[in-house]
Amino acid sequence: MLQMFLVTLGFLLIVFVAMSVGYWVKRKSIAGSCGGLGALGIEKACNCDNPCDKRLERQRQERREKEQAWKQNQIV
pLDDT digits over 42-76, tens only?
A: 666 665 677 788 888 988 999 999 998 888 877 65
Record the pTM.
0.37
The residue type of 10 is G
State the pLDDT at residue 45. Answer: 65
State the pLDDT at residue 19. Answer: 85
- For the segment 11-20, the average pLDDT, to the nearest whole number, is 92
Where does the pLDDT of residue 27 fall: very low under 50, low under 70, confident under 90, or very high at 90 and above? confident
Cβ neighbours of residue 44 under 8 Å, at least 6 residues apart?
37, 51
Cα 24–26–30 angle (5° rounding)?
90
